[in-house]
Amino acid sequence: MKKKLIIILIVILTFSSYLPIKASYNYAPWGDVIEQAESYLLKRQVNNANLVAEGGQEASITLSNLKDVFVYNEHLYVSDANANQIYIFNSNYEYLESLPKADDDLGQLKQPEGIYIYDEKLYVSDFNNERIAVFDLNTKLFVDEIKNPDDPIFAGDFKFKPKKVLVDRTERLYVIADNVFEGIMEFDSDGNFNRFFGTNEIRLNAFEALVYKLSSKEQREKMALKFQASFSSIDIDNSGYIYTVAKNDTPPLKKLNFKGGNILNSMGYVSVVGDARYPSLREKVATGPSSFADVAVHENDYLFSALDDKRGRIFTYDDEGHLLYITGSMGSQSSMFQRPTALVYWGDRLVVVDSGNEAIMIFELTDFGTLINEAIAHYKNMEYDLAKETWEEVLSLDSNYFLAYAGIGRTQLRNEDYKNAVNNLKRGYDYYNYSKAYEQYRNQKLQKLLPYALVLILAGLIFGIGRTLKNSIKRDKEDLGD
Amino acid sequence: MTKTFKNTFLKIKSFIRKVDIKKRLFELFVFPFYLITHPLKGYEEFKLEKKGKMWVAITYILLMILSMTLKQTSAGFLVSTPSITRVSILKTALFVIVPVCLIALGNWAITTLFDGKGHIKEIFIMLGYSLAPYVWLSIPMIGVSNFLIAEELQIYHVVLNIGIFGIVYLAFFGFLVLHEFGLFKNIVTLIATLIAIMVILFVGLLVLSLLQQIYGFLEQVYKEYIMRTS
């Protein structure tokens, strides 16, 4: 009996090491890739095989080239550039209807790309019709359009081909258009062109700059034009800051204020660039830095996610720039991405549309991810003790989560528990707060030690003076003696 | 019991007398300090009165390796690199020894062409001595850095930079005096030394890659022979 048990145990132990335990990854403070528990898991995938209309009937549509996704009033809006339609789904991911209606002549779309909804109005960037089409969501009818901007800078054969659109709370429009390199186009609420916004910089390397400096005007005209990197997507948070992502640009993700300056905090272990380590030479895998296709801001304003369409990963950061977790992967399995195009938050859920496997993918938080979000929420709401407790729970699930140590340390620093704060902040590699905590800790220690040190120094001084006096008296005596 | 204790004590005492620890300490600390305060006169004594000792130079090179290692392992949290899993004392040692040997070799090769009077052994010893200010400043500063906060880190960096300046200062006057050069000629030979070091590195890499290719060729021949015969 015992023998059998031992054999069974040995077999289990041997094979358990081969069990595929799927885990996500993150970056250690020193830049290495370390494993981390999964924070988001694919909960639901809506594709052509399991697509149903409301009430369980068969839906009459086929998802194909999905370009953008938006969530408004518990409804999901998805744009399809092949079918030239905007599909609307309810909160059970059942198909409701599509826009534009067949009899809406003015509203017919040609390759719709980005969509945005503000105040019951659906803004569609109608790529090949060269306009932004506006639909009313109550009547489901076309109401307005924004055509080619009437401004002298767009003279000549300029074609207004919008790719992404965004509306802020004053109904200003922000548009990313094809072949526009000056930045985001800003339109006022009447549809007139205002200005370019948040221009990317042209970067020359040292050699290019030298060549440019030494060349004459005629030579410069013959040179190949070097353009700014154009944005790939935008999103806006509740305070009105605009998040942009651009491929082949540094930094790839920006948070723009109204003036167009980048105010993104980047205090994390790795900067806000997606993958911090990547192969640069091998041919069989994707090489080079992450290329962000879309960015989405959580409704709580301090979490944002960026979608990398090169390796199919979603990177989630908090507003200080800490990389919280990484989700998703590229591959031909149905649960993986093939050509992810857009990303949006639906509460805590993440919705991704993929034009490769023609599906809408819904990710939901795991317990681990929920705890992380909760801990950050507690910290933002100034409930520091609760934050500490939550971080401790995070650590019980994944002791490699460095941010948790830093989080605990910050609370201890606030509670003036400097000794423990120093230790935890050191484990969490939070240099700024470590310095603050250590300053207090050192003061405490000095306060304890200083009296003894002063007494010692005083005693030394008295002894020294005494000896000199004694010697001088002795010398005087000797002098007198002579 | 007391007798053996007394015996060992006497032995240690006689050993200390034989080693002449006072003289050794003088050579190790006072003379390098004298070099800093009186570089020209000091190096003349170093050369003519043979006051530069090989063991001192090697000690300072070892201390330099120690200081570089301590900097990686025991420096304060705010100035240390995050992970100390990749510390390699061999790498650190090469990082000190190779430049010293390369500079000595390159400088000797150039200065023999420029009528320099220094020997390669002298140059090597002089380079060892010139590491002294950095070692003196850095080893205590690494200890102090454990008690500094972010606002005070400048102290640490400034002191270390003074140490690096000390290395350059001592080595510069060392070359000047050992080769009996003027200021201008010294600077010219130092620039030439840099070029010489590059040439040495280039040739070294070339030889290394050639050897690798020869090894690869022989391996191929051997493999082919085995394949054909078996």
User: How many A×B Cβ pairs under 8 Å?
Assistant: 25
Cβ(A174)–Cβ(A168) under 8 Å?
yes
Minimum distance, in Å, between the CA of residue A433 and any CA atom of chain B = 10
Q: Give the span between the Cα atoms of A417 and A410, in whole angstroms.
A: 10
- Which of A365, A393, A420 corresponds to the end of one domain? A365
A80 and A223 share a domain? Answer: yes
DSSP H/E element including A297? strand A292-297
Is B149 an 8 Å CB contact of chain A?
A: yes
Q: Give the span between the Cα atoms of A363 and B104, in whole angstroms.
A: 64
- pLDDT score, position A481: 65
Under the banding of pLDDT at 50, 70 and 90, the label for residue B19 is confident
- pLDDT score, position B115: 87
- pLDDT score, position A17: 57
A248 and A334 share a domain? Answer: yes
Minimum distance, in Å, between the CA of residue A434 and any CA atom of chain B = 8
Is B151 an 8 Å CB contact of chain A?
A: yes
Is B150 an 8 Å CB contact of chain A?
A: yes
- Which of A395, A413, A433 corresponds to the end of one domain? A433
Residue at A114 is within a domain: yes
The structure tokens 């003088």 sit at B26
Question: Between these two residues, A20 and A381, which has the higher pLDDT value?
Answer: A381
- Which of A309, A338, A365 corresponds to the end of one domain? A365
Residue at A17 is within a domain: no
* Span of A102-106, A418-422, B93-97 with lowest mean pLDDT: A102-106
Interface residue of A402, A431, A432, A443 to substitute, partner B, most B CBs within 10 Å: A431
- Please give the single-letter amino acid code of residue A73: N
A353 and A420 share a domain? Answer: no
Largest CA distance in chain B: 78
Minimum distance, in Å, between the CA of residue A438 and any CA atom of chain B = 7
- Please give the single-letter amino acid code of residue B56: V
Q: Do B82 and A442 touch (CB under 8 A)?
A: no
Is B78 an 8 Å CB contact of chain A?
A: yes
Q: Is ipTM strictly over 0.90?
A: no
- Find the mean pLDDT for residues B142-158: 93
Residue percentage of chain A with pLDDT more than 90: 51
Of residues A392, A432, A422, A430, the one with CA closest to residue A408? A392
Minimum distance, in Å, between the CA of residue A413 and any CA atom of chain B = 15
Residues of A with CB below 8 A from B77's CB? 426, 431, 434
Q: Give the span between the Cα atoms of A89 and A68, in whole angstroms.
A: 14
Of residues B90, B228, B92, B100, the one with CA closest to residue B174? B100
CA-nearest residue to B152 within chain A is A435
CA-nearest residue to B146 within chain A is A438
pLDDT exceeds 90 at position A410? yes
Q: Do A32 and B83 touch (CB under 8 A)?
A: yes
Tokens standing for residue A423:
């230790």
Q: Do B151 and A442 touch (CB under 8 A)?
A: no
Of the spans A200-209, A272-281, A462-471, which averages the highest pLDDT?
A: A462-471
A293 and A399 share a domain? Answer: no
Number of domains in chain A: 2
Under the banding of pLDDT at 50, 70 and 90, the label for residue A12 is confident
CA-nearest residue to B85 within chain A is A30
SS3 track for A412-434: HHHCCCHHHHHHHHHHCCCHHHH
Positive or negative, the CA dihedral A312, A314, A320, A323 is negative
pLDDT exceeds 60 at position A422? yes
A54 and A193 share a domain? Answer: yes
Question: CB count, 10 Å around CB of A154?
Answer: 15
Q: Give the span between the Cα atoms of A69 and A287, in whole angstroms.
A: 28
Q: Give the span between the Cα atoms of B138 and B144, in whole angstroms.
A: 10
Of residues A432, A262, A349, the one with CA closest to residue B78? A432
- Find the mean pLDDT for residues A201-211: 81
Residue at A181 is within a domain: yes
Note the Cα A138 to chain centre separation in Å: 33
pLDDT exceeds 90 at position B35? yes
- pLDDT score, position B14: 82
Q: Which long-range contacts (CB under 8 A, 24 or more apart) does A440-445 make?
A: A440/A413, A440/A416, A442/B147, A442/B149, A444/A418
Q: Give the span between the Cα atoms of B209 and B211, in whole angstroms.
A: 5
* Span of A20-24, A208-212, B65-69, B95-99 with lowest mean pLDDT: A20-24
State the Cα angle at A320 between A318 and A323, rounded to 5°.
50
A175 and A71 share a domain? Answer: yes
A138 and A224 share a domain? Answer: yes
Residues of A with CB below 8 A from B151's CB? 435
Is B147 an 8 Å CB contact of chain A?
A: yes
Q: Give the span between the Cα atoms of A420 and B77, in whole angstroms.
A: 15
Of residues A225, A213, A98, A112, the one with CA closest to residue A161? A112
Is B81 an 8 Å CB contact of chain A?
A: yes
Q: Do B149 and A435 touch (CB under 8 A)?
A: yes
A294 and A409 share a domain? Answer: no
Residue at A192 is within a domain: yes
pLDDT exceeds 80 at position A190? yes
pLDDT exceeds 60 at position A21? no
Of residues A352, A425, A373, A377, the one with CA closest to residue A69? A352
- Residue A25 sits at φ, ψ, to 5 deg, of -140, 170
Give the CA-trace dihedral at B156, B159, B163, B166, to 10 degrees. 160
Interfacial residues of A (vs B; Cβ cutoff 8 Å): 28-30, 32, 426, 429, 431-432, 434-436, 438-439, 442
Question: Between these two residues, A240 and A55, which has the higher pLDDT value?
Answer: A240
Closest Cβ–Cβ partner in B77, B81, B149 for A439: B149
Q: What is the CATH number of the domain that holds A148?
A: 2.120.10.30
Q: Give the span between the Cα atoms of A58 and A44, in whole angstroms.
A: 18
Residues of A with CB below 8 A from B81's CB? 30
A361 and A389 share a domain? Answer: no
Q: How far is CA A292 from CA A24, A362, A434, in A?
A: 19, 19, 33
pLDDT exceeds 60 at position B144? yes
SS3 track for chain B: CHHHHHHHHHHHHHHHHHHCHHHHHHHHHHHHHHHHHCHHHHHHHHHHCCCCCHHHHHHHHHHHHHHHHHHHHCCCCCCCCCCCCCCCHHHHHHHHHHHHHHHHHHHHHHHHHCCCCCCHHHHHHHHHHHCHHHHHHHHHHHHHHHHCCHHHHHHHHHHHHHHHHHHHHHHHHHHHHHCCCCHHHHHHHHHHHHHHHHHHHHHHHHHHHHHHHHHHHHHHHHHHHHHHHC
Q: Do A30 and B77 touch (CB under 8 A)?
A: no
Of residues A258, A266, A251, the one with CA closest to residue A236? A258
- Find the mean pLDDT for residues A60-81: 91
Residues of B with CB below 8 A from A429's CB? 82
pLDDT, tens digit (0-9, with 9 covering 90-100), for A114-161:
999 998 999 999 999 899 999 999 988 899 888 887 778 777 788 889
pTM of the model: 0.81
Q: Give the span between the Cα atoms of B91 and A394, in whole angstroms.
A: 38
Closest Cβ–Cβ partner in A30, A431, A442 for B78: A431
Question: Between these two residues, B83 and B186, which has the higher pLDDT value?
Answer: B186
Minimum distance, in Å, between the CA of residue A111 and any CA atom of chain B = 50
- pLDDT score, position B40: 92
- Please give the single-letter amino acid code of residue A60: S
Of residues A100, A112, A96, the one with CA closest to residue A140? A100
Of residues A402, A398, A409, A408, the one with CA closest to residue A428? A402
Tokens standing for residue A128:
């090949």
A394 and A359 share a domain? Answer: no
Q: Do B150 and A442 touch (CB under 8 A)?
A: no
Q: Do B83 and A439 touch (CB under 8 A)?
A: no
Q: Do B78 and A429 touch (CB under 8 A)?
A: no
Residue at A370 is within a domain: no
- Find the mean pLDDT for residues A223-250: 86
pLDDT, tens digit (0-9, with 9 covering 90-100), for A291-303:
999 999 999 989 9
Cβ(B39)–Cβ(B109) under 8 Å?
no
Q: Give the span between the Cα atoms of B16 and A481, in whole angstroms.
A: 42
Under the banding of pLDDT at 50, 70 and 90, the label for residue A6 is confident
CA-nearest residue to A428 within chain B is B82
Q: Which long-range contacts (CB under 8 A, 24 or more apart) does B25-31 make?
A: B27/B51, B27/B53, B27/B56, B28/B56, B28/B59, B31/B56
DSSP characters for A241-288? -EEEEETT-SSSEEEE-TTS-B-----SSS-SSS-SS--SS-SSS--S
- pLDDT score, position B111: 92
Minimum distance, in Å, between the CA of residue A445 and any CA atom of chain B = 11
Closest Cβ–Cβ partner in B82, B147, B151 for A429: B82
Q: A232-269 burial string, b = 16+ CB within 10 Å, else e?
A: bbbbbbeeebbbbbbbebebbbbbbeeebeeebeeebb
- pLDDT score, position A22: 66
- pLDDT score, position A363: 94
Residue at A464 is within a domain: no
Residues of B with CB below 8 A from A29's CB? 82-83
CA-nearest residue to B84 within chain A is A30
Q: How far is CA A261 from CA A255, A378, B225, in A?
A: 8, 29, 68
Q: In what order do the strands lie in the sheet with A184-187?
A: A162-167, A173-177, A184-187, A193-197
Q: Do A435 and B150 touch (CB under 8 A)?
A: yes
Helix (H, G, I), strand (E, B) or coil at A107: coil
Residue at A460 is within a domain: no
Under the banding of pLDDT at 50, 70 and 90, the label for residue A482 is low
Residue at A179 is within a domain: yes
The structure tokens 């989560």 sit at A401
A309 and A388 share a domain? Answer: no
- Cβ neighbours for B95, distance < 8 A, ≥ 6 positions apart: B68
Looking at every residue in chain A, the average pLDDT score rounds to 88
- Find the mean pLDDT for residues A74-79: 93
Looking at every residue in chain B, the average pLDDT score rounds to 91
Of residues A86, A98, A173, the one with CA closest to residue A126? A86
Domain that holds residue A248: 31-203+215-280+287-365
Of residues B87, B68, B56, B89, the one with CA closest to residue B139? B68
A117 and A192 share a domain? Answer: yes
A321 — alpha (psi -120 to 50), left (phi > 0) or beta? left
Cβ(B58)–Cβ(B131) under 8 Å?
no
